[in-house]
């Protein structure tokens, strides 16, 4: 392993697989397709097929792509163009001056101090789920924890955004997000990727977005009239730029949709993978549970508690390394004469990387497929390599704006549920991974909840 870790210089060369090399794998599991390219051809690959792209899998190359986004690279790619059909021109896909303005307006709403206000809502939702699991535990019932986590994280993001207004539309929002996720998972094939192509999913997307924007327009008008001020919609309405300008109602709707999709499915999948790994590694689970007992005991989790949960945070970071929910990233080459890995990459080229492969790079992680949270202990030598060898939230100027909220949410949910239950994998559980927009357990995570302590 290189002594310079994730800051090592890329010394390899660009390779070109045969035309259409294993193209069929994209239809099955694209994460495994990219992993095969890396194993067969190295960390810098120019692929030519139905899609042409440059695949990077070295931390130095990934660092360059992420840090030079907004200069040499941007999100005007065919893949992000498909996301724009869903997200409009929200922060996830915006470019140029619009992105800079939206980022400045929203950044204060996601800082360490700002997210403290949302912790009670996260804890309350997790506590309610814990109470509902009592009957499942007492009956020894087998259940799939994946949909349980999806409902929980949707409730959390819904109440953070909309407060009590979420309860009236929870089922609709679940249906809307399902349509948007299925649309985003479709490959951006020529002609078919057009939003006006007469496909069923395109029709469903148009109907979904119309319903969502109508709901948001009504809610925003209510907020403008006064009343609720503690939810994120109200704070977006109050945000002002340097010239005193505010977001339009349509801007707020685009941002809300991006936060629902980006902050719901990803957190749910991360939690599902964590429960899976904790049962498979009882020593890690016992250390984590002892920490929860020692630090929190029977108290309500606070921010002071969360800051002391080292074992819990390390287990989450290792889960995000091995099972990155948003596993795929891509950029468009936005300038002439961009040199990447010693090669000038033409303007308009698609550059991609797979977090699934990057996070398991044997040159930067010892025994990379092993679940070993100790890697992320602050004084551990591998932790210094994590800067761009592990990028679950991205990096550079386009790093995920919600990363601090996401980590707070994940730690708080684990703090509530792992104190009360051990989720034991049932014999009916089938291992497997599916890579769509997010990386999810292919067959769910079937468990039995065993009580640890009385509430």
Confidence check: pLDDT of 3 > 70: no
Q: Can you read off the two tokens belonging to residue 281?
A: 């590694």
**Contact (CB, 8 A) for 55 and 37:** yes
Look at residue 435 and give its three-state secondary structure.
strand
Q: What is the mean pLDDT of residues 395-404?
A: 95
pLDDT of residue 437: 85
Confidence check: pLDDT of 114 > 90: no
Look at residue 439 and give its three-state secondary structure.
strand
- DSSP 8-class letter at 226: S
Residue 424's beta-bridge partner residues?
A: 448
Give the helix ranges, DSSP H, for 116-169: 119-139, 145-162
pLDDT of residue 147: 93
Confidence check: pLDDT of 50 > 50: yes
Phi, psi of 279 (to 5 degrees): -70, -35
Confidence check: pLDDT of 390 > 50: yes
**Contact (CB, 8 A) for 89 and 98:** yes
State the pLDDT confidence band at 193, using cuts at 50, 70 and 90.
low
Torsion angle defined by CA atoms of residues 116, 122, 128 and 131, in that order, rounded to the nearest 10 degrees: -90
State the pLDDT confidence band at 1, using cuts at 50, 70 and 90.
very low
Q: CATH number, domain at 38? A: 1.10.630.10
Q: Is 53 exposed, middle or buried (0-12, 13-18, 19+ CB in 10 A)?
A: buried
pLDDT of residue 182: 75
Nearest CA among 434, 430, 454 for reference residue 142: 430
State the pLDDT confidence band at 383, using cuts at 50, 70 and 90.
confident
Confidence check: pLDDT of 229 > 80: no
Q: Is the dihedral of CA 61, 62, 63, 67 positive or negative?
A: positive
**How much of the chain exceeds pLDDT 90, in percent?**
66
The CA distance from 447 to 253, in Å, is 37
Pairing between β-strand 44-47 and β-strand 53-56 as defined by DSSP bridges:
antiparallel
Whole-structure pTM value: 0.93
pLDDT of residue 195: 65
Overall number of domains in the chain? 1
pLDDT of residue 278: 98
- DSSP 8-class letter at 69: B
Look at residue 440 and give its three-state secondary structure.
strand
- DSSP 8-class letter at 15: B
State the pLDDT confidence band at 453, using cuts at 50, 70 and 90.
low
State the pLDDT confidence band at 185, using cuts at 50, 70 and 90.
low
Domain that holds residue 254: 5-451
pLDDT of residue 220: 86
Pairing between β-strand 350-354 and β-strand 53-56 as defined by DSSP bridges:
parallel
pLDDT of residue 200: 81
Q: What is the pLDDT of residues 60-83, one digit of tens each?
A: 999 999 999 999 999 999 889 878
pLDDT of residue 444: 97
State the pLDDT confidence band at 397, using cuts at 50, 70 and 90.
very high
Q: Does an H or E element contain 351, and which?
A: strand 350-354
The CA distance from 301 to 416, in Å, is 7
Q: What is the pLDDT of residues 142-156, one digit of tens each?
A: 999 999 999 999 999
Residue 54's beta-bridge partner residues?
A: 46, 351
pLDDT of residue 228: 64
Q: What is the pLDDT of residues 334-374, one digit of tens each?
A: 999 999 999 999 999 999 999 999 999 999 999 999 999 99
State the pLDDT confidence band at 385, using cuts at 50, 70 and 90.
low
Q: What is the mean pLDDT of residues 183-203?
A: 68
Q: What is the pLDDT of residues 85-110, one digit of tens each?
A: 877 889 999 999 999 999 999 999 99
Confidence check: pLDDT of 51 > 80: yes
Q: What is the pLDDT of residues 161-172, one digit of tens each?
A: 888 778 777 888
Q: Is 264 exposed, middle or buried (0-12, 13-18, 19+ CB in 10 A)?
A: buried
Confidence check: pLDDT of 315 > 90: yes
pLDDT of residue 455: 45
Q: What is the pLDDT of residues 405-436, one digit of tens each?
A: 999 999 999 999 999 999 999 999 999 999 98
Give the helix ranges, DSSP H, for 338-434: 355-358, 386-389, 403-420
**Averaged pLDDT score across all residues of the chain:** 90
Residues 6 or more apart whose Cβ sits within 8 Å of residue 127: 416
């Amino acid at each position: 392993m290189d002594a310079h870790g994730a800051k090592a210089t890329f010394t390899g060369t660009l390779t070109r697989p045969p035309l259409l090399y294993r193209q069929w794998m994209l239809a099955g599991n694209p994460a495994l397709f990219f992993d095969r390219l890396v194993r067969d051809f190295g960390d810098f690959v120019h692929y030519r097929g139905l899609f042409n792209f440059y695949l990077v899998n070295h931390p130095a190359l990934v660092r360059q792509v992420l840090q030079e986004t907004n200069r040499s690279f941007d999100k005007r790619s065919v893949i992000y163009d498909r996301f724009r059909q869903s997200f409009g021109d929200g922060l996830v896909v915006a470019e140029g001056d619009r992105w800079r303005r939206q980022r400045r307006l929203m950044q204060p709403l996601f800082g360490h101090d700002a997210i403290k206000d949302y912790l009670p809502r996260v804890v309350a939702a997790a506590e309610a789920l814990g109470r509902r699991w009592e009957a499942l535990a007492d009956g020894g019932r087998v259940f799939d924890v994946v949909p349980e986590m999806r409902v929980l994280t949707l409730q959390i993001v819904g109440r953070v955004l909309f407060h009590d207004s979420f309860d009236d539309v929870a089922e609709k929002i679940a249906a809307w997000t399902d349509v948007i996720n299925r649309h985003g998972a479709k490959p951006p094939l020529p002609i078919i990727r057009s939003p006006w192509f007469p496909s069923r999913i395109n029709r469903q997307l148009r109907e979904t977005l119309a319903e969502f924007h109508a709901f948001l327009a009504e809610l925003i008008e209510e907020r403008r009239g006064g009343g609720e001020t503690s939810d994120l919609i109200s704070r977006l309405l109050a945000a002002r730029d340097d010239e005193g300008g505010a977001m339009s109602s349509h801007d707020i709707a685009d941002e809300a949709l991006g936060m629902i999709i980006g902050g719901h499915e990803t957190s749910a999948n991360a939690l599902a993978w964590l429960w899976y790994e904790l049962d498979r590694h009882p020593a890690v689970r016992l250390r984590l549970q002892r920490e929860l007992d020692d630090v929190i005991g029977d108290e309500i989790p606070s921010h002071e508690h969360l800051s002391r949960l080292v074992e819990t945070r390390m287990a989450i970071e290792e889960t995000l390394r091995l099972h990155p929910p948003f596993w795929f990233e891509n950029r468009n080459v936005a300038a002439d004469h961009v040199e990447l890995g010693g090669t000038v990459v033409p303007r308009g080229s698609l550059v991609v990387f797979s977090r699934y492969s990057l996070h398991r790079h044997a040159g930067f992680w010892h025994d990379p497929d092993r679940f070993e949270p100790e890697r992320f202990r602050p004084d551990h030598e591998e932790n210094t390599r994590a800067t761009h060898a592990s990028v679950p939230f991205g990096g550079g100027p386009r790093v995920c704006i919600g990363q601090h909220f996401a980590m707070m949410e994940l730690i708080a949910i684990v703090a509530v549920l792992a104190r009360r239950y051990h989720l034991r994998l049932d014999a009916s559980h089938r291992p497997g991974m599916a890579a769509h927009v997010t990386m999810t357990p292919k067959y769910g995570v079937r468990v039995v909840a065993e009580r640890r302590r009385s509430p």
